[in-house]
Amino acid sequence: MESAIDTHLKCPRTLSRRVHDDYQPPFPMFAGRADASLTQVVMAYLGVQFREEQRAAAINAMQQMVRSFSLHNGPANHDVTFHTDNQGFGNFIVVGYWRDPAAYCRWLHQPEVADWWSSDDRLHEGLGYFREIIAPRAEQFETLYAFKEDLPGVGAVMDNLSGEIQEHGYWGSVRDRIPASQTDWLQPDGELRILSGNPAVGGRVVVQGHDNITLIRSGQDWMEADEQERTLYFTEMLPPLQAGMDFLRDEGQALGCYSNRFVRNVDIDGNLLDVAYDIGFWRSLDRLERWAESHPTHLRIFTTFFRVVTGLQKLRLYHEVSVSDARFQTFEYINCHPCTGMLRDAVR
């Protein structure tokens, strides 16, 4: 049994774990592994927001973003998603992962990328755009997989996979898997603040984040699942999951959830794939933990997962959780409605 925290990220604890050293988890789970050369990753969420009559233009814009990833210094892994938000707008999000922040910066400042984003054309196309980018250090994120091959998300830019890990299956295990939690409570510092622009007016708006904003990506992949597991997902797992995600989207503000998007993966033409995940930004890990441990919407998700997980063969479940420093966060919006992402909760 291994620790979720890799050897080179361990340090003497000043804060205790939530379980005893003899704890035995109820089923096997695994964590991504990277060698000491990985010191920081970049997670970039690049969005196109549109009304249905603008779908064709939005697909073209999404495809432009995907093409930009093929430029020099592009991400090592990416995927594309779609969702309809609670204001009735469609949203494509192109998600890229870099294991080298310097390569990301070189990619970002290429004229094909920088000039496209800064062009006044973006203001007059009838589309909304956003980029929400965080760059957690290696000690600021964790991963958890119920499978061993073809890791999605940040796992794809890591080197390997652990053996069975100990820190899962109990409340507080996410925190115990984040190396920084050995010595840091990971408390938030500050508020979301509007640096420029006005969300009510539109145009370009920049939001300043704060230390220890927490991002969770929690996914389900049923592409290879047989009919029995697909039925299990759609009839037993998805209903409580959808209810919980909708609750956080619509009512999560009071709990400290800045933004929650339950998205479906799509191909380059916008066609739905049999993969979905949640993108949740929270004020702090503590706020996420409180919802997970005590709110009925998550308890229904959690108990359903525990009931079915040991019988899963092809249905792939995973998540990644990170915290990040304010100086490594970017939240920028162009002509997005004022409930988009961090705009809703940002103050002047």
| Whole-number Å distance between alpha carbons of 269 and 206 | 29
| Whole-number Å distance between alpha carbons of 241 and 247 | 10
Q: What is the pLDDT of residues 199-210, one digit of tens each?
A: 999 999 999 999
Q: What is the pLDDT of residues 83-107, one digit of tens each?
A: 999 999 999 999 999 999 999 999 9
Mean pLDDT of the residues in the chain = 95
Residue found under tokens 């995907």: 66
**pLDDT-derived band at 63, boundaries 50, 70, 90:** very high
| Whole-number Å distance between alpha carbons of 274 and 290 | 30
Q: What is the pLDDT of residues 15-34, one digit of tens each?
A: 999 999 999 998 899 999 99
Residue 298 pLDDT > 90, yes or no? no
| Whole-number Å distance between alpha carbons of 318 and 93 | 19
Percent of the chain whose predicted confidence (pLDDT) is above 70? 99
pLDDT at 305: 76
Q: Model-level pTM?
A: 0.96
Residue 301 pLDDT > 80, yes or no? no
| Whole-number Å distance between alpha carbons of 176 and 180 | 9
Q: What is the pLDDT of residues 120-170, one digit of tens each?
A: 999 999 999 999 999 999 999 999 999 999 999 999 999 899 999 999 989
Residues with catalytic function: 319
Amino acid (one-letter) located at 305: F
Residue 311 pLDDT > 80, yes or no? no
Mean pLDDT of 111-124: 97
pLDDT at 293: 85
Q: What is the pLDDT of residues 161-199, one digit of tens each?
A: 999 999 998 989 999 999 999 999 999 999 999 999 999
β pairing state of 213-221 and 90-98: unpaired
Tokens of 190: 């500050």
pLDDT at 174: 97
pLDDT at 140: 98
Residue 40 pLDDT > 80, yes or no? yes
Tokens of 102: 């310097």
CA distances, 178 to each of 142, 225, 258, 324 (Å) = 5, 30, 21, 12
Starting at the edge strand found earlier in the chain, the sheet holding 141-145 runs 141-145, 316-324, 213-221, 272-282, 257-266, 77-84, 90-98, 42-50, 128-134, 329-334, 202-208, 193-198
Q: What is the pLDDT of residues 238-281, one digit of tens each?
A: 988 999 999 999 999 999 999 999 999 999 999 999 999 999 99
CA distances, 206 to each of 151, 181, 197 (Å) = 32, 30, 7
Mean pLDDT of 317-343: 97
**pLDDT-derived band at 292, boundaries 50, 70, 90:** confident
